[in-house]
Amino acid sequence: MRDPGISVVICVYTEDRWEDILAAVSSVRAQSYPALETLLVVDHNQALLERLGRAYQEAGDVRVLANAGPRGLSAGRNTGVAVSHGDVIAFLDDDAVAERDWLRRFAEGYTDPRVMAVGGRTLPVWASGRRPAWFPEEFDWVVGCTYRGLPPGRVRVRNVLGGNASFRRTAFDAAGGFATGIGRDGDRRPLGCEETELCIRLTRGRPDAVLLIDDRAVIHHRVPAAREHFAYFRTRAYAEGLSKALVARSVGAAKGLESERRYTTRVLPAGIARGLRDALLARPGGAGRAGAIVAGVLTAAGGYAVGSVRARRGGPAFSVVPVAPVAPARTPGSDTGTGTEEGERP
């Protein structure tokens, strides 16, 4: 089987991350396995769209375009998929940088034609320079990173994690696109799980599909100072509960919470035990980590309960649509765009 061409999609939404965006693109351009193209999808921010268009106007390997759907990460990813040319579409967070062999590890996974998705390992880069003593590694998903409890190596999983993931193009033919209304929407409540919901739909549509995580496909994800505080930890855990309720509504609780049951019954109790042991040994942060795990579980459970009640009452809703090719239109100062300007809602 020939090596797949890989398109990289980076969804962006704010000029506050300007330097991060440039670093993310640079890390893609430095790959040992060259990307076919890099697509910067701008989420309803005309100023950022034009500024990036000017910055990459002469770049033949970078395209800047506007999100053609409703505001939010899911629609931005769907826009990138629709205009991309690769056999595989990889997604990189706008505040992350990829190690040199990131795409090479993804490409290796697709030598098996059954493989429909390959994810990688995401490491936190703390704004303070070090992990907060109270912050448990079991909850690194709170800051968009690989958490303690995931198996090492190249392993089969239920779902990949969206900020460091890739999908075969035919996966979207089988499952449709990312569900809108379930994932991130700029700086609003930090919902998630859109990639989980997509992966479960994918394996239902293609029962023979294999989804992998290869922990050699590494990216480094910046964690801003505001996310090092317990207030954000609690908010993100609650939002995760809300998101899991939406996933369960879409695919059923049995499949939607399959991995979470092992996580809460095995991984988290072990984390609490380690924290208490460290506290007894007078190691910094042990009691705080144990307490944070308990608080995180209770907060996420509360979010799930609230989300389940809302779902039974008919809201909030989200939708899944096929990812159809988008005819590109010129946007100011950029290579291509979608014709959707800031403020427009298709």
What DSSP line would sit under 230-263, residue for residue?
HHHHHHHHHHHHHHHHHHHHHH-HHHHTHHHHHI
| Whether pLDDT at 332 is above 60 | no
- For residues 116-142, average pLDDT: 97
Higher pLDDT, 148 or 188: 148
Question: What is the number of other CB atoms lying within 10 angstroms of the CB of residue 279?
Answer: 17
DSSP E strands in 43-98: the ranges are 62-66, 88-92, 96-98
| Whether pLDDT at 229 is above 60 | yes
pLDDT band at 302 (very low <50, low <70, confident <90, very high): very high
Please state, in angstroms and as integers, the Cα–Cα distance from residue 181 to each residue in 93, 164, 247, 336, following that order: 19, 21, 11, 26
Determine contact, residues 275/136, Cβ cutoff 8 Å: yes
Percent share of the chain, pLDDT over 70:
84
Percent share of the chain, pLDDT over 90:
72
Give tens-digit pLDDT for 133-172.
999 999 999 999 999 998 899 999 999 988 999 999 999 9
Identify the weakest region by mean pLDDT among 4-8, 205-209, 316-320. Answer: 316-320
Q: Residue 154: beta bridge partners?
A: 214
Q: Tell me the average pLDDT of the chain.
A: 88
| Predicted pLDDT of residue 188 | 56
| Whether pLDDT at 321 is above 80 | no
Residues 6+ apart with CB under 8 A from 158: 196, 199, 200, 203, 211, 258, 259
| Predicted pLDDT of residue 242 | 87
pLDDT band at 312 (very low <50, low <70, confident <90, very high): confident
Nearest alpha carbon to residue 186 among 43, 31, 17: 43
Determine contact, residues 56/28, Cβ cutoff 8 Å: no
| Predicted pLDDT of residue 95 | 96
In single-letter form, the type of residue at position 293 comes to I
Torsion of CA 72, 53, 87, 161, to 10 degrees: -40
Measured in whole angstroms, the distance separating CA 172 from the mean position of its chain's CA atoms is 16
Give tens-digit pLDDT for 285-297.
999 999 999 999 9
Say whether pTM exceeds 0.85: yes
**Residue 278 φ/ψ, nearest 5 degrees:** -65, -35
Give tens-digit pLDDT for 52-67.
999 999 999 999 999 9
| Predicted pLDDT of residue 307 | 86
| Predicted pLDDT of residue 145 | 96
Tokens of 14: 């704010």
Higher pLDDT, 257 or 26: 26
Q: Which helix (H) or strand (E) segment is 309 a member of?
A: helix 286-312
- For residues 106-122, average pLDDT: 97
pLDDT band at 14 (very low <50, low <70, confident <90, very high): very high
pLDDT band at 192 (very low <50, low <70, confident <90, very high): low
| Whether pLDDT at 230 is above 70 | yes
| Predicted pLDDT of residue 191 | 63
Taking the C-alpha atoms of residue 81 and residue 85, their distance in angstroms, rounded to an integer, is 8
Higher pLDDT, 66 or 192: 66
Taking the C-alpha atoms of residue 272 and residue 290, their distance in angstroms, rounded to an integer, is 4
- For residues 11-17, average pLDDT: 97
Dihedral sign computed on CA atoms, order 195, 200, 206, 212? positive
- For residues 89-108, average pLDDT: 98
Distance linking the first and last C-alpha atoms of the chain: 39
| Whether pLDDT at 337 is above 50 | no
